[in-house]
Amino acid sequence: MRISVIGLGYVGSVCSAAFAKEGHTVIGVDVDSVKVELINKGKSPIVEKGLGELIKEGVEANRLKATTDLHYAIANSDLTIIAVGTPSQKNGSLDLRYIQDTAVAIGKELQSKNSYHVVTMRSTVLPKTGKDVVISLIEKISGKKHGVDFGYASNPEFLRESSAIEDFYHPPFTVVGAEDLKVFEIFKQLYSFLDAPLFETQIEVAEMIKYASNSWHAAKITFANEIGMICKELEIDSHEVMRIFCEDRKLNISSYYLKPGFAFGGSCLPKDLRAITYKAKELDITIPMMEHIMPSNEWQIKRVYLDFIQPLPSKKVAFLGISFKADTDDLRESPQLALAEMLIGKGYELSIYDKNVLLAKKEGALKTVLESDLQHINIRLNENLEETIEKADIIILGNNSKEFRDIPNRYFHKYIVDLMRIVDKKSKENYQGICW
């Protein structure tokens, strides 16, 4: 495959050298003549372990060259990789000037090109950049049609400095976001040498994955540091704590809790988080990340009311499942219960159904609590699911109990707010997920 790479910085240089090693003909493009000269001499323009050797190998095999001439590069390639910088502006927003300039330049070059050309984004850009900025500019300037005359893909990089070559050849996965089946086929061929899964997805999903990944890495480092600060004050070996912590791959290092949805609750998480953050205060330690977890969790409850319930004209609500988790009657620190109480306080006609809470009401320890502290909930409990729903115009799916799975299909005429993503896809406008 003939590949052109625009931007010979960190990502562009690594990609150029690696694809040349895999037998592709690669033309690197940069406005910096120094970088171009270095690569053409078989030298690396950046300090990165093993990159100099790869560049030298590609140049000597006549598979890698660099130029400042974009016209030459695009005319002699089938796929163009954009790897220009996307720096921060003073207010934190992304500076897209280099992306825009590159899109305009590519559009001009595609005006005179008759063959199908694929444009690939490796630079880190926010969701919608591909469609709203790059594709839009290329279509406007070139007069060509996306999906017909040229293809576009978001192919985010996950390279770490000092181990970029290793990361390129041993990725956890490769992500390709596109709308054209032809593009996916090209990328399957391009990455056929990798022993890693290739995920084909939407352009915006691919763009967002990079931000989710980097934000999560930042959160992990911050969390470990905050635990470390507490451990140091208590004279505990923080590295031993986190070493053992990371051995739990069922919950701690897993996908189990990483599914967007409603707030957390129950008898453990809120209580223990409060305890450790209070202990930090006693030790006169500031742990901003952990201190803001509970306020963020509480906001998840409030925003359901503010964004999804309050704007609706009706005040008749069926709340299905108020225990914090399906298949349990536990109402301790249940965010579903907190939301129900908020709606009651706002004057909503609330009818509640939860078979496990109903069972506990008859013969469990919860009976006394419902008859005293939670009497306002007790009088709104309904034993019949169908009756509960029929009374309401709005349905809140509080947990993912199996008996609720078919409700979005059966009651499509009612407005449904799903806190747990009971079904995979939104089938209609009046069925809303709070984080999806």
pLDDT tens per residue, range 201-230:
999 999 999 999 999 999 999 999 999 999
- pLDDT of 425: 67
Whether the CB-CB separation of 261 and 336 falls below 8 Å is answered with no
Q: Please, which residues bridge with residue 65 across strands?
A: 27
The chain-wide mean pLDDT, for the chain, equals 95
Query: Which strand (E) or helix (H) includes residue 209?
Result: helix 203-233
What mean pLDDT do residues 24-38 have? 97
Worst-scoring range by mean pLDDT, 214-218, 245-249, 296-300, 323-327?
323-327
Residue 38 pLDDT level (bands cut at 50, 70, 90): very high
- pLDDT at position 242 over 80: yes
> Quick one: DSSP state of residue 381?
B
Q: Do domains 2-201 and 297-433 have the same CATH topology?
A: yes
Q: pTM for the complete prediction?
A: 0.91
- pLDDT of 427: 59
CA distances from 85 to 30, 38, 122 (A): 12, 19, 10
Q: Please, which residues bridge with residue 146 across strands?
A: 150
- pLDDT of 426: 61
- pLDDT of 423: 82
- pLDDT at position 366 over 90: no
- pLDDT of 365: 75
Helices within 246-324 (DSSP H only): 269-282, 288-291, 293-303
Whether the CB-CB separation of 64 and 39 falls below 8 Å is answered with yes
Of these ranges, 79-83, 322-326, 409-413, the one predicted with the greatest mean pLDDT is 79-83
Whether the CB-CB separation of 126 and 94 falls below 8 Å is answered with yes
pLDDT per position as a tens digit, 315-355? 999 999 999 988 889 899 999 999 999 999 999 999 999 99
What mean pLDDT do residues 10-35 have? 97
- pLDDT of 117: 98
The length of the chain, given as a count of residues = 436
Q: What residues have CB less than 8 Å from 205, skipping those under 6 apart?
A: 175, 177
- pLDDT of 367: 86
pLDDT per position as a tens digit, 43-72? 999 999 999 999 999 999 999 999 999 999
CA triple 298-300-301, angle to 5 deg: 70
CA distances from 320 to 345, 380, 388 (A): 18, 12, 8
- pLDDT at position 381 over 90: yes
Q: What residues have CB less than 8 Å from 1, skipping those under 6 apart?
A: 24, 25, 78, 79, 186, 189, 190
As a whole number of angstroms, the distance between CA 179 and CA 85 comes to: 25
**How many Cβ atoms are within 10 Å of 236's Cβ, its own excluded?**
13
As a whole number of angstroms, the distance between CA 203 and CA 151 comes to: 12
Q: What residues have CB less than 8 Å from 323, skipping those under 6 apart?
A: 329, 330, 331, 334, 336, 337, 354, 356, 357, 398, 399
Q: Which two structure tokens, joined as six digits, stand for 113? A: 């090109």
pLDDT per position as a tens digit, 277-289? 999 999 999 999 9
Domain limits, the chain: 2-201, 297-433
Residue 9 pLDDT level (bands cut at 50, 70, 90): very high
- pLDDT of 363: 74
pLDDT per position as a tens digit, 140-197? 999 999 999 999 999 999 999 999 999 999 999 999 999 999 999 999 999 999 999 9
Q: Which CATH code for domain 297-433? A: 3.40.50.720
- pLDDT at position 260 over 90: yes
pLDDT over 70 percentage in the chain: 99
Whether the CB-CB separation of 288 and 372 falls below 8 Å is answered with no
Architecture of domain 2-201 in this structure: 3-Layer(aba) Sandwich (3.40)
As a whole number of angstroms, the distance between CA 184 and CA 225 comes to: 41
- pLDDT of 318: 98
Q: Which residues are catalytic?
A: 268
